[in-house]
Structure 1
Amino acid sequence: MAGLKRMLPGIADVLAGRGAELEQLATLLDEMGPAVMWVHGVAGIGKSALVGQFLHDAEQRGAQCLLLEGGGIEPTPEGFMAALGEATHIRLETPHDLAVLRGGQQRQRLIIAVDGVEALRLLDTWLRSSLVPHLPEGAKLLLSGRHRPTANWYRGSVGPAVRVLTMAPLALPDAMQLLERQGLSSAQATVLAPRLHGNPLAIQLAATTLPARPGYRLIEASLQHVMDTLTELYLTDITDPLQRRLLEGACVVRRITEPLLGAMIPDVSSADAYARLRTFDLVESLPDGLVLHAMVREALERSFVARDPEHHLQYRQRAWQALVRQVTGSGRAELWRYTADLLYLVENPIVREAFFPSDHSELAAEPVQPEEVASVQAIVYRHEGPEGAQALWRWWQAMPEAFFIVRDVDGSCEGVCCRFDPRLAPPGALAEDPVVAAWWRDLEASPVPDGQRVLFIRRWLGRADGERPGEVQAAIWLALKRDYMEMRPALRRVYLVLADPAPYAAVAETLGFRPLPDCSVTLDGVEHTSVVLDFGPRSVDGWLARLAAAELVLEGDTEWLDRQARELILHDRRIALTPLEFGVLSYLLDRDGEAVSREQLLKEVWQSDYMGWSNKVDAVMVGLRRKLGDESGCIKAVTGVGYRYRRADPG
């Protein structure tokens, strides 16, 4: 199909020992072959190289191939379709639009491949239930990641169309052959191969580091220990201090870009540093930056933290500051990339795991099917008293689409959640539920700005544990993060209720939830506590930036400027800004710590080069400082230049 964009990584000419796997992938080109192929295996096992080789071979056979990097896709239906649209230069909004990808080329096979699909866990249900059923005739889906598909992929109409390819470690003869191809002697390969776990990445590192150490004995250990050992040897061989600094910077961030390198290593030309890093063997070039292989990156970072924790923190802080600047004014696709980069800087598992879960769970959040209503009702009445159950069941009658369930590996209903946007609730329904009525009163007393949205998480319950923490609740929260992503950047506030908030208190405080004493409601003799999370003017992205800032011991991004509404938010009051005041303040905020001249402000805000207007800048600044009140000290006059904005020191 004309215009189909190809994004293939560098791949080896020969994949030792992977002939059988390539043959299985080739069945995607057969008319009677599977519609979906899922490749999975541990890090470093060679999934990306295998997929790249197959796509190369498929194109040689006349197929049209598209490769997307899962980590660069916003994990929402809109984000996935936008990524496909960007790659094909065709506007795609829903899975129904996929038919246009085929055009008049019905006989030509189309392969849509997604590498790193584990980054799209929030999209798992949508991929299976919405994307796959709408694949046009002749189109196949190839998914590759660390985890095997959940059991739900094997059920329903999709199940027979799915084939799973497990990438096992290389057989010992193949591992030895690969070592010899990379320059090791037969004797060295015989000794080393059993200790490298048949992992191609470990083999590559061994071939890079051990030939110069003929007497070195690699001990038998876990794959992670072997990778850590080989990575340390790799670092030892790098005698150029700049090369070491570049690798240290690269292991701190999710992806490497010129601006990030410039922020972390400011004394070196970012363009030169980027070009130099690009030549490293273990660095891969992607459309949106450079990446170290995940397993190498993790090993390098462990080493960096152990050797120099102070500089490791400093690099993370500088990266955060650069990313927060880049977020401002970004389009939706770029906004997600920067947000994902910020998330990577967060080490708190409560936050990172909520969006990028590292474990494999068979539980899946799904829409409620008609035959499952009785199971939902059984869970509700098992854990709620008559008043609570009646209030919740009224929502089922009013908004069944507000509910989703959690299915186990055998398809049984293990949990249920009710959540909705109150603006979409039927008239009168809000007042019938005492919990929601209290939330609505709070919203009326403290409304969100026009254009911003609210999510009511009315209740979540597991079949066995009710509202208490557990695996079912983790699956529910993962699904709720999908709602967060789909509602951003308009999502401003989340309300939820708990009969016993104690088990969640520490997590809630970390995430920024605060109790609402005026919204407490007694149901069935039990006081139910309501809490609220206000994301701030920049929605989920601003919230995540603040969480990262708190962990990095940095002052969070200024939240007293609502850029969307062009208003100041000070002491719970909103203060309108004139267009010039907003322009000046935004320009200074985006250049935190920099001295900005009056000439710059005239050119960028007034769109004028006329220097006789410099007094106009001062006049606007007087009015702006008056409106800022207690916050006005953040803006200082710079004698002979102009002005500088600097965040106040924490505490």
Structure 2
Amino acid sequence: MTQPAGLIPGTRELMVGRDVELEQLMALLDKQGPRVLWLHGVAGIGKSMLLGHFVHQVGQVDVPCLCLDGREVEPTPDGFMAALQEVSGCRMAASGRLDALLGDGRKEPLIVVVDAMESLCLLEVWLRQSLIPRLPEGVRLLLSGRHRPATGWFDGHAEPVRCLHLEALADAAAEAWLRRLGFSAAQACHLRQRLHGHPLAIRLAAALLPAHPDVRLPEASLQEIMDQLAELYLADIPEHFQCQLLEGASLVRRVSEPVLQAMFPGASSAAAYASLRSLDVVEAWPDGLRLHDMVREALGRSLHARDPQRHADYRARAWQALVAQTTASGRRELWRCTADLLYLIENPVVREAFFPTDRNELAVEPARAEDATSLKAIIDRHEGPQAARALWRWWQAMPEAFRVVRDARGECQGLCCCFDPAQAPPECLAEDPVTAAWCQALVGDPLPAGQRVLFIRRWLGREAGEQPGEVQAACWLALKRDYMAMRPALRRVYLVLADLAPYAAVAETLGFRRLAERVVTLDEIPYHSAVLDFGPRSVDGWLARLAAEELGVPRDTLMLDRQAHELIRQDRRIRLTPLEAGVLACLLDHPGEALARERLLAMVWGSRYTEGSNKVDAVVVGLRRKLGDQAGRIETVSGVGYRYRLAPDGRESAAG
């Protein structure tokens, strides 16, 4: 029997009321069936469970499956292929080659299952236009996510996709399941109405309500019901600290021991991890612990309503641990750490740019030769003669730099032109007044070796031009694909606008800086340029800074990577000796508290204090030297020992 490769839910839970949907998924095995099937439905509706049963059933007939979870895949072509390679290697230890599975001429059936497609929205155009057309005859693709496919999946240039909308359980199925879970007929009828036929809500209610016979769920929205069930779950946890652990876990994408150590510095991270793992709403993954999205969101809302300060403190401490992880991560793990940081950001300007909650029905894809007439019409409509000539010159010289924004009918609603200047014709860069100004800016402020630039030459909507709107939002989302593909080498982004005012607040939030000395006048209209410098750690460092600003983390925050014995300062890692790391860890764990020398000796050296011992003093001298202009954070307390001075806002300024 063929076993699935990759991450996929098991089949240990009973599946109720989904026989018809399972049969529709099995159509992927038919030679005349769909090559691409897209399963979609709201969170908690049972998509992952259905996928698990499908994979199990397919395995019964010896059809191999490669299973990916979109949350674990870097949303770039290289990231997707690397993830496929990894799971194919797990299955085929002998050959272990991806081309043996997806290579030309393969006619044997193979199912590629991708769950959580909402996390891969940046990758959809590549999947649709590049990967799927090259798949051999025997390969089928099963995609699953919260949203239905974008309109681009249905145009004449794409592989036909079949959609399957997973809806709430039918009344009879929901009541039958509730009866099987031990409720009376009257209770099952009442709960079926209150729980909206939602499988996750039914499972939670079945686990909680028998111990609370007096609790009656109100007639309310699904979110309100989930919030009440989450409160009930918290109330049933006997240990207060375990309850706090669960609340902290609800604020991060995944939980690791370093994150728990940062959130709860006085506790054993290993014991905290084990305690959290024992809860039945927590799932253990290879890279950490996770809560189901709906449970996590309900618990997070509850904590924010009850104790907004603790909610903020947990997030700030988690940030410190996650930044420490990103600075130490290789390319393979970097996306997971970056996605963890993104989850901490609540600002919709940033978060929606990477993980949009709503489906934009406009598709952004590479322009084709037949789009030239539509593109020219949009440019001529919104640009004067000089500006239009400068932009059209790029279409003539570098058409691959253009993306077209299409509506549901496939008609062109806008355009975006962007490129790496290192790949552009030098004569075009010099002829275009806008790019010439940017090149001059780069001469005055050159890039470090090995780092790259992205020129966003123009975006224009057919109706709104450069103004904010659906076309602009679609273009910005597409540009994040370039950000991800060019990192970690991408250092700067340049863009140009005739009217900066509508974007001023967003630009300031994102860190764009206006280049006042690089204004270009075309057709008597001043075009204003702005630049975003991501910093030495590229997009990942930029996101870390945005999260820090939102969380109120001071810019001079110091962090200690306890495992690596390294101090992290402004994207730099400074090596510490084991004793220096030990003393700093003690001070950080007791911010603002004067620690006696004898106590530090006992905690770090494990030895007793003797009169005249200068072990601690010698280590502090070395620490202060490595702290540089932050050396004053370690204060000498006369006659006692040392104290770590709190940041101005009263929070700890570092955590391990």
Q: Do the aligned partners of residues 646 and 375 (structure 1) sit closer, same or farther apart at CA in structure 2, a change above 3 Å counting?
A: farther
Aligned-pair Cα RMSD in Å = 3.6
Q: Do the aligned partners of residues 645 and 541 (structure 1) sit closer, same or farther apart at CA in structure 2, a change above 3 Å counting?
A: farther
Match for residue 412 of structure 2?
A: 413
Match for residue 44 of structure 1?
A: 44
Shift of residue 255, structure 1, vs aligned partner: 1.0
Match for residue 341 of structure 1?
A: 340
AA partner of residue 450 (structure 1): A
Shift of residue 450, structure 1, vs aligned partner: 0.4
Q: Do the aligned partners of residues 196 and 535 (structure 1) sit closer, same or farther apart at CA in structure 2, a change above 3 Å counting?
A: same
Match for residue 226 of structure 2?
A: 227
Aligned pairs for 1:308-457 (under 5 A) are 308-457=307-456
Mapped partners of 1:648, 1:234: distance in 2: 36
Shift of residue 618, structure 1, vs aligned partner: 8.5
**Residue-by-residue CA offset, 1:177-235 (whole Å, 9 max, x unaligned):** 11122221222101111121110011111112222333433222211112112222222
Q: TM-score when scaled to structure 2?
A: 0.85
Match for residue 538 of structure 2?
A: 539
Greater CA deviation, 97-106 or 414-423?
Answer: 97-106
Q: Do the aligned partners of residues 451 and 621 (structure 1) sit closer, same or farther apart at CA in structure 2, a change above 3 Å counting?
A: farther
Shift of residue 356, structure 1, vs aligned partner: 0.6
- Check conservation: 2:107, 2:136, Cα contact below 8 A: no
Mapped partners of 1:231, 1:266: distance in 2: 26
1:68 to 2:68 alignment: yes
Q: Do the aligned partners of residues 84 and 185 (structure 1) sit closer, same or farther apart at CA in structure 2, a change above 3 Å counting?
A: same
- Check conservation: 1:208, 1:234, Cα contact below 8 A: no
Greater CA deviation, 284-293 or 111-120?
Answer: 284-293
Match for residue 612 of structure 2?
A: none
Shift of residue 168, structure 1, vs aligned partner: 1.2
AA partner of residue 424 (structure 1): Q
**Residue-by-residue CA offset, 1:436-484 (whole Å, 9 max, x unaligned):** 1111111001001000001111111111100000111000000111111
Aligned to 1:533, the other structure's residue is in SS state strand
Mapped partners of 1:227, 1:619: distance in 2: 53
Aligned to 1:229, the other structure's residue is in SS state helix
Match for residue 35 of structure 1?
A: 35
Shift of residue 487, structure 1, vs aligned partner: 0.6
Mapped partners of 1:364, 1:340: distance in 2: 24
Mapped partners of 2:121, 2:328: distance in 1: 27
Aligned to 2:408, the other structure's residue is in SS state coil
Aligned to 2:458, the other structure's residue is in SS state strand
- Check conservation: 2:43, 2:293, Cα contact below 8 A: yes
Match for residue 457 of structure 2?
A: 458
- Check conservation: 1:99, 1:136, Cα contact below 8 A: no
- Check conservation: 2:230, 2:298, Cα contact below 8 A: yes
Mapped partners of 2:456, 2:635: distance in 1: 44
Matched pairs, number: 610
Match for residue 123 of structure 1?
A: 123
Mapped partners of 1:127, 1:591: distance in 2: 51
**Residue-by-residue CA offset, 1:546-603 (whole Å, 9 max, x unaligned):** 01001111024789xxxxxxxx999xxxxxx9xxx97569x99999867799xxxxxx
AA partner of residue 538 (structure 2): S
Mapped partners of 2:636, 2:428: distance in 1: 54
Q: Do the aligned partners of residues 277 and 491 (structure 1) sit closer, same or farther apart at CA in structure 2, a change above 3 Å counting?
A: same
Mapped partners of 1:558, 1:213: distance in 2: 46
Shift of residue 107, structure 1, vs aligned partner: 6.0
Match for residue 277 of structure 1?
A: 276
- Check conservation: 2:513, 2:531, Cα contact below 8 A: yes
Unaligned runs of 5+ in 1: 560-567, 571-576, 598-613
Match for residue 83 of structure 1?
A: 83
Match for residue 156 of structure 2?
A: 156
- Check conservation: 1:592, 1:644, Cα contact below 8 A: no
Match for residue 519 of structure 2?
A: 520
- Check conservation: 2:498, 2:528, Cα contact below 8 A: yes
- Check conservation: 1:593, 1:646, Cα contact below 8 A: no
Match for residue 603 of structure 1?
A: none
- Check conservation: 1:379, 1:415, Cα contact below 8 A: yes
Aligned to 1:418, the other structure's residue is in SS state strand
Unaligned runs of 5+ in 2: 559-567, 589-599, 601-616, 651-656
- Check conservation: 2:8, 2:51, Cα contact below 8 A: no
AA partner of residue 47 (structure 1): K
Greater CA deviation, 373-382 or 232-241?
Answer: 232-241
Greater CA deviation, 399-408 or 180-189?
Answer: 180-189
Q: TM-score when scaled to structure 1?
A: 0.86
Q: Do the aligned partners of residues 591 and 124 (structure 1) sit closer, same or farther apart at CA in structure 2, a change above 3 Å counting?
A: farther
Q: Do the aligned partners of residues 213 and 593 (structure 1) sit closer, same or farther apart at CA in structure 2, a change above 3 Å counting?
A: closer
- Check conservation: 1:594, 1:644, Cα contact below 8 A: no
Mapped partners of 1:306, 1:115: distance in 2: 32
Q: Do the aligned partners of residues 345 and 548 (structure 1) sit closer, same or farther apart at CA in structure 2, a change above 3 Å counting?
A: same
Shift of residue 37, structure 1, vs aligned partner: 1.1
Match for residue 602 of structure 1?
A: none
Mapped partners of 2:430, 2:645: distance in 1: 46
Greater CA deviation, 127-136 or 442-451?
Answer: 127-136
